[in-house]
Amino acid sequence: MAKLVFNYGAMGSSKTANALMVAYNYEERGQHALILKPATDTRDGIHTVSSRIGLSNTCRLIDEFLDEFTKNPDCVLNYNAIIVDEAQFASPEQIDLFSDIVDTWQIPVLCYGLRADFQNKFFPGSRRLMEIADEIKEIKTICWCGKKATCNARYDDHGIIKEGAQVVLGANDKYIALCRKHFKEGNLGK
């Protein structure tokens, strides 16, 4: 039975690497997995998904695919699975369309993304996934202290940043995963 799955984790937990490995497993078995990402994620180019460890693949944009889907719903029949990277940037309405694909066409939709932003608040796409996903799985990583990291701290040369726009693209240069204690303390471990 197909499911809407939300695989979430803090920054650096290998969410994208996991998504790319799942896509590879489908392809290796002769099945076709569609990889999607939001247009917001421009770090690796428009139609590329890349992980920190060097894995990459081509992808389509969520908007492009869902526009096609609303005009021709049968287009989903070309795929055995849909894999969504950076799902936190999807809108709640897009998440609902993914649930329609699961429920009506029995095609699994596997979403990967952050649960919360740098202020430890939900992204809209993540909130909707937490509300309606059939399965919610945490991809774990650790804080500098060795405890489980659950918070995404944005930082600069002056320390942790607590205010600003919800979306600022970056990787290890702007974000670090911290345990809740060190997030609250603003302790980057440096």
The annotated binding site is made up of: 85-88, 143, 145, 167-170, 175, 179, 182
Over pLDDT 90: what percentage of the chain? 72
The rounded distance, in Å, linking the Cα atoms of 136 and 112 is: 10
Residue 79 backbone class (left: φ over 0; alpha: ψ -120 to 50; beta: rest): beta
* Catalytic residue list: 86
| pLDDT band at residue 169 under the 50/70/90 scheme | low
Select the more confidently predicted residue: 98 or 154: 98
Taking each continuous run of H as one helix and of E as one strand, the counts in the chain are 5, 11
pLDDT at 139 over 90: yes
Tens of pLDDT, residues 120-132: 999 999 999 999 9
Residue holding tokens 């021709």? 72
Tens of pLDDT, residues 1-60: 899 999 999 988 999 999 999 999 999 999 999 999 999 876 777 888 878 778 878 889
- Give the global pTM: 0.91
Give the model's pLDDT for residue 45. 75
pLDDT at 172 over 70: no
The annotated binding site for Zn(2+) is made up of: 143, 145, 179, 182
Give the model's pLDDT for residue 87. 97
Q: State the CATH class of domain 4-140.
A: alpha beta
The annotated binding site for substrate is made up of: 167-170, 175
Q: Which residues contact 188 (CB under 8 A, 6 or more apart)?
A: 144, 153, 155, 159, 160, 176, 178, 182
Give the model's pLDDT for residue 94. 97
Phi and psi, residue 131, nearest 5°:
-75, -40
16 three-state secondary structure:
helix
| Secondary structure E strands in the chain | 4-8, 33-37, 48-50, 56-58, 60-61, 81-84, 109-113, 135-138, 151-156, 159-161, 175-178
Domain extent listing, the chain: 4-140
